[in-house]
Amino acid sequence: MKRNILIVVSFLFTIALSAQNERYTAAMQKGIATLDTARSTSTFLQTANHFERIANAEKQAWLPAYYVAYCNMMVATGLMQEEKVEQCGAYLDKAQTALDAAKTLAPEESEIYALQGYIYQGRIWENPMALGAKYSPMSYTELDKASALNEHNPRPYYLKGQSVLFTPVFYGGGSKNALPLLQKAAEKFESYQPPSPLHPNWGAGANKWMIEYAEKNNN
């Protein structure tokens, strides 16, 4: 009798766990689908809130917190492009807080260090002349860690190329110096397969645009 009860309890637990995993996967897929088509800061903010709700419910999963960080980073990027750099800092702070939470759960994850490198690039925007010397080396250190943890990850090369492309030639930047990094990233994007549909897979489109820009301005 006891054995039968244990079998039933185990069966019910398995069903409940399966249902929980399905809800998590469905919620993540919904957020990623929105993220893939997001173009405005308001959409990125809404998506950040979506992933934050998942992160609060799934406290042992690093991907929801990672996407909270990424969404806030994209808000900061949008504000920078709109020349509202004075507003970027608050979203960079939010991105950092979420990424710290993700790193606690997955301290050896390449994608986390790649995004950390991106956040450090964002710290430069407010005052490139004053902050570049501090945050640029910090960004490269994180991107090197990302590559060391996963040599197939294209995002460290893309983010390095982006940084070099928009750095003055006088300081070692410019199209000529950025192209090898962006082209290396393009090769890796071509062959890269994320571990699952829920894992990060961003950057290929922007990398392609930067290659085209760099080739046109390769003086």
pLDDT of residue 18: 46
Neighbours of 161 (CB within 10 A): 25
As a whole number of angstroms, the distance between CA 19 and CA 206 comes to 37
What percent of the chain is predicted at pLDDT more than 70?
A: 90
What is the residue whose two structure tokens read 């986390």? Answer: 112
Q: Is the pLDDT at 167 greater than 50, yes or no?
A: yes
pLDDT of residue 8: 42
Six-digit token string for 163: 């940084």
Would you tell me the crossing angle of helices 110-124 and 155-165 to the nearest 10 degrees?
A: 10
pLDDT of residue 218: 82
pLDDT digits (tens, 9 = 90+) for 142-163: 999 999 999 999 999 999 999 9
- Identify the CA nearest to 71 among candidates 104, 107, 27, 41: 41
As a whole number of angstroms, the distance between CA 210 and CA 116 comes to 21
As a whole number of angstroms, the distance between CA 174 and CA 180 comes to 11
Q: Which residues neighbour 85 within 8 Å (Cβ) at sequence distance 6 or greater?
A: 79, 125, 126
As a whole number of angstroms, the distance between CA 30 and CA 40 comes to 17
CB 115 within 8 A of CB 70: yes
Q: Is the pLDDT at 2 greater than 70, yes or no?
A: no
For range 23-45, the mean pLDDT: 96
pLDDT digits (tens, 9 = 90+) for 174-208: 999 999 999 999 999 999 999 999 999 999 999 99
Taking CA atoms, 60 is separated from 22, 33, 52, 57, in Å, by 16, 22, 13, 9
Q: Is the pLDDT at 9 greater than 80, yes or no?
A: no
What percent of the chain is predicted at pLDDT more than 90?
A: 88
Q: Which domains does the chain have, with CATH numbers?
A: 1-101 (no CATH), 108-219 (1.25.40)
